[in-house]
Amino acid sequence: MRFGFGAEARLAPRRSGGGGRRGMIAAAIVATLLGASGAWWIGRERSAAPPAMRDYATPKGRRAVFRLLDGTEIMLNADTRLRAPVPFAARQRDVYLDGEGFFSVVHDVARPFVVHTSGGAVRAIGTKFGIRAYGDAARERVAVIEGAVAVSETAVRAGQVATRSRAGAVGLLARAKVQNELAWTRGRLVFESVPLVEVAERLGRWYDLDVRVGDRALAGRPVTGSYGDEPVSQVLTLITAAVGARYQWHGRSVTIATAAAAR
Same domain, 23 and 153: yes
Domain that holds residue 211: 188-258
Q: pLDDT of 57-102, one tens digit each?
A: 999 999 999 999 899 999 999 999 999 999 999 899 999 999 999 9
Same domain, 68 and 149: yes
Q: pLDDT of 23-45, one tens digit each?
A: 444 444 444 444 444 433 334 44
Which position has the higher pLDDT, 4 or 240? 240
Tally of domains within the chain: 2
Q: Residue 82 and residue 63: Cα distance in Å, rounded?
A: 13
Same domain, 15 and 107: yes
Per-residue confidence at 51, pLDDT binned at 50, 70, 90? confident
Same domain, 175 and 206: no
Same domain, 162 and 193: no
What integer best gives the mean pLDDT of the chain? 85
Tell me the CATH number at 199.
3.55.50.30
Residue 74 inside a domain? The answer is: yes
Inter-residue contact 19 to 64 (CB < 8 Å): no
Of 6-20, 43-57, 234-248, the poorest mean pLDDT is in 6-20
Of 39-48, 69-78, 199-208, 242-251, the poorest mean pLDDT is in 39-48
Residue 57 inside a domain? The answer is: yes
Q: Residue 210 and residue 202: Cα distance in Å, rounded?
A: 10
Tell me the CATH number at 27.
2.60.120.1440
Inter-residue contact 51 to 87 (CB < 8 Å): yes
90 φ, ψ (degrees, to nearest 5)? -70, -25
Same domain, 150 and 35: yes
Same domain, 76 and 154: yes
Same domain, 131 and 241: no
Residue 241 inside a domain? The answer is: yes
Q: Torsion over CA of 63, 67, 73 and 74, rounded to 10 degrees?
A: -30
Which of 154, 180, 206 terminates a domain? The answer is 180
Inter-residue contact 152 to 172 (CB < 8 Å): no
Residue 263 inside a domain? The answer is: no
Same domain, 96 and 192: no
Q: pLDDT of 210-224, one tens digit each?
A: 999 999 999 999 999
User: What does the pLDDT read at residue 69?
Assistant: 86
With pLDDT > 90 as the criterion, what percentage of the chain qualifies? 74
Same domain, 132 and 203: no
Q: Residue 45 and residue 109: Cα distance in Å, rounded?
A: 17
Q: Which residues contact 128 (CB under 8 A, 6 or more apart)?
A: 102, 103, 104, 105, 144, 145, 146, 147
132 φ, ψ (degrees, to nearest 5)? -115, 110
Same domain, 128 and 249: no
Residue 148 inside a domain? The answer is: yes
Distances 231 to 164, 225, 237 between C-alpha atoms, Å: 33, 15, 10
Same domain, 12 and 125: yes
What type of residue is 108?
D
Q: Residue 129 and residue 219: Cα distance in Å, rounded?
A: 29
